[in-house]
Structure 1
Amino acid sequence: MACAGTLVAGTAGAANAAPGPHAAPSPAGLERHSVTLLTGDVVQVERQPGGKQAATVQPGPGREKIRFHQQEVDGHLSVFPEDVTPRLAAKQVDRTLFDVTELIAEGYADEQSATLPLILGYRKGADLRQTSVAADLGVTLSSVNGRSARASKANAAAFWTSSANSAIERISLDRKVRASLDRSVPQIGAPEAWAAGFDGTGTTVAVLDTGYDPAHPDLAGRVTGAVNFTTSPDTTDHFGHGTHVASTIAGSGAASGGRLKGAAPGAKLLVGKVLDDDGSGYESWVLAGMEWAAHSGAKAVNMSLGGGPTDGTDPLSLGLDALSEQTGTLFVVAAGNDGDQGAYTIGSPGTADAALTVGAVGRDEKLASFSSRGPRLGDNAVKPDITAPGVGIVAARAAGTAMGDVVDDHYTAASGTSMATPHVAGSGGVVVVVDDHYTAASGTSMATPHVAGAAAILAQQHPDWTGRQLKDALASTSLTASGLSVFEQGGGRVDVARAVKQKVFATGTLDLGALENGTAPVSKEVTYTNTGTTPVSLKLALDAKSLAGVPAGDGIRLGKSTVDVPAGGRVTVTITGDPAKLAAGTYSGRLTATADGVVVHTSLGADKTAPRHKVTLSALDLHGKPAVAPWLLMYGEDYRFDLNTWLGGGSMTVELGAGVYYLTAEVDGGGDGLTVFQVVLPELRITGDTAIVLDARKAVKVEIQTPKPAEQAGIWSYYTYRELGPRRIANYAMQFDYTRELRVTPTPKVTTGAFEFGSRWSRIAPPLTVNVLGGRDPLTNRYLPGSPKLDGRRLLLGPVSKSSPAS
């Protein structure tokens, strides 16, 4: 029989099993998708109106006895075969590869793609040319010591097996990235820089985007090299985004009589086509383009593209940081278009530490509603770093394209943070008709190129500066808007006129990081640099508060209130974060230094976490001996302490923040394997160092009562559901009928949030009953796989021993 089970992402009930991989057309309002996991198992997903989801699992060949666990956390549905747990816990595999919500959204459902695009990270010293995995290998990505690859879904199980004992250190999804000037160029002060003799001449900016239109008058003579990293046939821009971005950086304005110049019209351009003719691409394409650009002489690289929010440890962000360190190149990256969703929406690779991450403002200097906000996911670090005009931007149109709104034969209008960084991010904005020849659109794609152009101007003035110095100078001299935090605007709107004229700049962004009770104060330095010929005395003022508005007071303090910066020199000032003097919370603020005609500032961030405690986890079987817990999940209100792991028979000690947690774990109780033991602790309070023992002996049998004798047949499942603060967490497990019994630890009623446990069974009349003559108890019996089925009554005689009294 086909082994399949139904798991429902809700708090009660289960839907009927979905059809096989090639599902019938869905009824109105119902979505059905088939997703093959990296292990070769197939998940059928059914989305019902109102958001409820159901997942049906078809195990891959030879995997019929694998147990499957399902989680729905904060709206994302994931399905995990139990045997992937060790590799997930060791961070050898990207969890996104089992996030079916994300895989469907990225276009990797089976009806959309027959392969899974991957980035394979190898151990240090491994020969990237010699690999034995069952996948089609692509480009080498030196910045992350890896290669791109395509794993055929039809051969996914072979890939999973071959990758287990290889030189591969990590498997990541090769995520998709997307392409996210009349008044805007004067708004950032570019004409004043031009008047001072700085228009980017002698510098090169690389544009990683959808290509460019080589016939556009504004780009004539501007592009010195172009390389195609996509599967599109050439470097020509058939989408329109790359041309728009390139002209915002260095366009001559020839088609407008010189009126619509880019921010740095004297700069030269390198064009790397990393997004295809539909405006999307893969991280591996982008990484290859980044490596080419950084090693081809570009002083700055414009990346008006991006993926979803990350903690800065994704391949794109890690590659950006590595290339910045190796080459001194500045990567200018769009923040993203998800500001309407609130905080924690900065997209990769704008999450990289070294990136100059750009948000968007309008002509009124107000933050655009679509501009993505910080802090960074995971560690609450400060992002973005700066903003630039990204609303109603008019720029060049590639021939034959219709991105944005056509102004005339040569220009279109578009908006977005990408146009502050040229990246391709979606439009997501408002279109306004100006006249028959000009229109303006708003989105997040238009802010980034202004900053890339400003970087080219500053690099012309200071050709020996590194990308880090360019980033600090632009961020610390930007125009700060009142009423906005550093998590919304970074330093503020780029002001290239001030950056060129002012001789003093400072560290642009400084994160004190995590501050924990019981640890020593954390001190870091802000550097002030004076490029002028006379010393400057600066007065320092620090303002920092938590997101809740609580002033940091002496919890974040300066080492001194004034500082003298010598001509042609630099000095440092210490900032200290003292956990003993701060309430728990995420803090942000700004250190401002002033003198006659001088204003520089540093964006600050710090995270005072809840007190951390050591929690030791262990498991016991029915005999009180150490046991394996093949699946252990623990969640609290702060997602940074989420635990998805396993116990291999010993104990594990982790550090968790104080608070209320929900734990659910499967424990191997021993015995014949016919029983599942589930330990559930829905309201676990961590207030100090503690030991948690997952004891299978405390679990009690779940009794299923039927009017007549019945036994389990086919798939059965159970689930737990928990609400903790704003979080909604559902966990499911699917069992096949060789497992006959479920035992669960009793739970007290929770005092916070909601909790629910349930199970779903398929009971039938016993197909086989065996009675033993002589009044003995009935035998427990079952058909072996492949056994012929008996019909009617049979008398079976077995050998007996005449010497046995019982015989």
Structure 2
Amino acid sequence: MRSRISRSRGGLRGFALLAAVGTFALGGPTAPAVAQTVGPPQLDPSKKASHSLDRFTYPQKQGCMRGNSGNSMIEEKPWSQLVLGFEQAHDQGLRGAGQTVAVIDTGVNAAHPRLQGKVQDGGSSVPDGGGDKDCDGHGTIVAGIIAAGQDQTGQTGYVGVAPDARILSVRQSSKLFVSDGNNATIGNTQTMAQAINIAVDRGASVINISQSSCQPIAQASNYNDYGNQELHNAVKDAYNAGVVVVVAAGNVGESCQKNAAGSPTTAVLPAWFDDYVLTVASVNQAGAPSEFTVPGPWVDVAAPGENLIALDPGVGGTGLASQIATGDNGQLGPIQGTSFAAPYVSGLAVLIKEKYERENRPLTAAQIMDRIKQTALHPGGINGRNDIVGYGVVDPAAALDDVVPAEWGVAAPPPKPTKLDSDVIPQKDFPSLIIALGGAGAGIAAIIFTAFLINAVRNVRARARENDSR
């Protein structure tokens, strides 16, 4: 049994994007909503996917998304870009140079001006083209958040987190190509595992997976589903190879249910394999968790995922978009989803990797993941985390500059100043001065009083002696 992608199939008009996050269909009956063992079962290391993609021959049932033909310039910077402040890293020369991010998704429209020359074709399960094509538009938005170049005309402030990084696009899914037999769409847990293996083989530094398979935990734990076990092995092998795998937490809807805190009933794959991936939830402009983000003990951090500005994801698109057509009727709606929170974290992982390699102190996948978690803006809760946003919203400045606890004793602490600079005027500490002077005064008074007392005693004794002699 292979868990497939199941998505709504709305009309594609203008910016039509069918869903904010890909969700794999559930095979078989839904298990009862009762708490199950949270972690995945013991892994059989022999159950591994191939290093090439299965090619589907499903017919295309809807046309590809088209780019906006009108003016799509958006001058203001996205709120997400302002809040995260990753452009400070660009000012320090950290822009993702020499790094490759694998985007395992619906493909990427490589002709978009902000992505030209950045996209490598990593293969495709979709019959109408390679990884440098995107009928659905989903993967193009993800790739733009990670690596979109700056606007050379200076009309917009939008830029990717790591604009000098390369994108390896592995097109493993599409919901526009549908089987006549069982109404299935392209993509499943097995093709996702295959895509991860390809990304590792092709030298990816980071892998972004903004798609998920939501399954009742009882079903996910049934490793007779060889796709799940192959996916588990794939993320483990990537982790051991030093590749950071960043995944979306999943959106409520279709087969994804909102888990109760501490008692999940729905597993989100590959987020469920938490030892080997970094799972990203979504927050809104107020910093609150998005209503649609799926909680779970595997959630690690959060990033902006609502009301976003993105590259126009349609074929022929050249500008930006702040809304896309979604749903069966193609109505306009905001760009949102944990799909689009994850690439902000993928971009950050790239910058961290670049920085430490430049300093000849390369970090392992575990160290990069821990650094991102430890420097996040922790929420209230036990140990500074909860099941909704994990360890909190990522903080790029801290992740790039702070010395985290795991590195104490390894990295030298910052030097402390040994003298005051000429422009620093020390301020009088008046309470301390008063206490000090008061103490000194009391001591002087005690000395004077003692001297007076000794002199008085001597005078009394002298008079007594005089009287005795008379």
With the length of structure 1 as denominator, give the TM-score of the two structures. 0.37
Q: 1:462, CA displacement in angstroms?
A: 1.1
What stretches of structure 2 of length at least 5 have no aligned partner? Answer: 3-25, 32-42, 57-76, 177-184, 416-470
User: Corresponding residue for 2:320?
Assistant: 411
User: Corresponding residue for 2:140?
Assistant: 243
Question: In the TM superposition, what whole-angstrom CA distance separates every residue of 1:569-599 from its partner, at most 9, and x where no partner exists?
Answer: xxxxxxxxxxxxxxxxxxxxxxxxxxxxxxx
Closer, same or farther: CA 222–374 of 1 in aligned 2, 3 Å: same
User: Corresponding residue for 2:107?
Assistant: 211
Closer, same or farther: CA 147–442 of 1 in aligned 2, 3 Å: closer
**Partner SS state of residue 341, structure 1:** coil
Give the % identical residues: 27
**Partner SS state of residue 308, structure 1:** strand
Please show how residues 56-135 of structure 1 align to structure 2 within 5 Å: 99-101=28-30, 124=46
User: Corresponding residue for 1:458?
Assistant: 352
User: Corresponding residue for 1:793?
Assistant: none
Question: In the TM superposition, what whole-angstrom CA distance separates every residue of 1:425-460 from its partner, at most 9, and x where no partner exists?
Answer: x979xx998xxxxx7333332100000000011011
Closer, same or farther: CA 531–221 of 1 in aligned 2, 3 Å: farther
Closer, same or farther: CA 427–471 of 1 in aligned 2, 3 Å: farther
Please tell me whether residue 397 in structure 1 is matched to residue 312 in structure 2.
yes
Matches of 1:500 and 1:269 in 2, distance apart? 22
Closer, same or farther: CA 256–470 of 1 in aligned 2, 3 Å: farther
Q: 1:262, CA displacement in angstroms?
A: 0.8
Question: In the TM superposition, what whole-angstrom CA distance separates every residue of 1:222-253 from its partner, at most 9, and x where no partner exists?
Answer: 12443213344333101101110000000013
**Partner SS state of residue 488, structure 1:** coil
Please show how residues 610-689 of structure 1 align to structure 2 within 5 Å: none
Question: In the TM superposition, what whole-angstrom CA distance separates every residue of 1:252-301 from its partner, at most 9, and x where no partner exists?
Answer: 13377351101111211111111125385122221111001012111100
Q: 1:479, CA displacement in angstroms?
A: 1.1
**Partner SS state of residue 453, structure 1:** helix
Please tell me whether residue 285 in structure 1 is matched to residue 191 in structure 2.
yes
Please show how residues 415-494 of structure 1 align to structure 2 within 5 Å: 440-463=334-357, 464-482=362-380, 485-494=385-394
Equivalent AA in structure 2 for residue 238 of structure 1: C
Matches of 2:380 and 2:45 in 1, distance apart? 48
Matches of 2:87 and 2:388 in 1, distance apart? 27
Matches of 1:280 and 1:443 in 2, distance apart? 21
CA contact (8 A) 1:427 1:445 kept: no
CA contact (8 A) 1:200 1:460 kept: yes
Closer, same or farther: CA 346–481 of 1 in aligned 2, 3 Å: farther
Question: In the TM superposition, what whole-angstrom CA distance separates every residue of 1:203-222 from its partner, at most 9, and x where no partner exists?
Answer: 11111111111210010121
Equivalent AA in structure 2 for residue 395 of structure 1: A
Matches of 1:334 and 1:449 in 2, distance apart? 9
CA contact (8 A) 1:361 1:387 kept: yes
> What value does the CA root-mean-square deviation take over the aligned residues?
3.7
CA contact (8 A) 1:204 1:298 kept: yes
Q: 1:486, CA displacement in angstroms?
A: 1.9
Equivalent AA in structure 2 for residue 533 of structure 1: A
Please show how residues 501-580 of structure 1 align to structure 2 within 5 Å: 501-502=401-402, 504-506=403-405, 527-529=406-408, 532-534=411-413
What stretches of structure 1 of length at least 5 have no aligned partner? Answer: 1-36, 39-95, 103-120, 129-139, 151-180, 376-382, 402-407, 416-425, 434-438, 507-526, 537-807
Please tell me whether residue 307 in structure 1 is matched to residue 213 in structure 2.
yes
Please tell me whether residue 252 in structure 1 is matched to residue 149 in structure 2.
yes
Matches of 1:481 and 1:122 in 2, distance apart? 36
Matches of 2:100 and 2:366 in 1, distance apart? 17
**Partner SS state of residue 187, structure 2:** strand
Matches of 1:340 and 1:249 in 2, distance apart? 28
Equivalent AA in structure 2 for residue 392 of structure 1: N
CA contact (8 A) 2:238 2:244 kept: yes
Question: In the TM superposition, what whole-angstrom CA distance separates every residue of 1:720-747 from its partner, at most 9, and x where no partner exists?
Answer: xxxxxxxxxxxxxxxxxxxxxxxxxxxx
**Partner SS state of residue 208, structure 2:** strand
User: Corresponding residue for 1:706?
Assistant: none
Q: 1:366, CA displacement in angstroms?
A: 0.7
Specify which structure has the higher proportion of strand: 1
Equivalent AA in structure 1 for residue 82 of structure 2: P
**Partner SS state of residue 126, structure 2:** coil
Specify which structure has the higher proportion of helix: 2
CA contact (8 A) 1:317 1:350 kept: no
Q: 1:327, CA displacement in angstroms?
A: 1.2
User: Corresponding residue for 2:16?
Assistant: none
CA contact (8 A) 2:145 2:160 kept: yes
**Partner SS state of residue 185, structure 1:** helix
1:349 alignment partner, one of 270, 282, 295: 270
Please tell me whether residue 374 in structure 1 is matched to residue 296 in structure 2.
yes
Question: In the TM superposition, what whole-angstrom CA distance separates every residue of 1:20-48 from its partner, at most 9, and x where no partner exists?
Answer: xxxxxxxxxxxxxxxxx99xxxxxxxxxx
CA contact (8 A) 1:414 1:446 kept: no
CA contact (8 A) 1:245 1:449 kept: yes
Equivalent AA in structure 2 for residue 220 of structure 1: Q
Equivalent AA in structure 2 for residue 461 of structure 1: K
Question: In the TM superposition, what whole-angstrom CA distance separates every residue of 1:70-103 from its partner, at most 9, and x where no partner exists?
Answer: xxxxxxxxxxxxxxxxxxxxxxxxxx86x3458x
Matches of 1:252 and 1:149 in 2, distance apart? 32
**Partner SS state of residue 226, structure 1:** strand
Please tell me whether residue 365 in structure 1 is matched to residue 287 in structure 2.
yes
Closer, same or farther: CA 534–447 of 1 in aligned 2, 3 Å: same
**Partner SS state of residue 220, structure 1:** coil
Closer, same or farther: CA 370–391 of 1 in aligned 2, 3 Å: same
Matches of 1:300 and 1:366 in 2, distance apart? 27
With the length of structure 2 as denominator, give the TM-score of the two structures. 0.62
CA contact (8 A) 2:173 2:186 kept: yes
Matches of 2:137 and 2:414 in 1, distance apart? 49
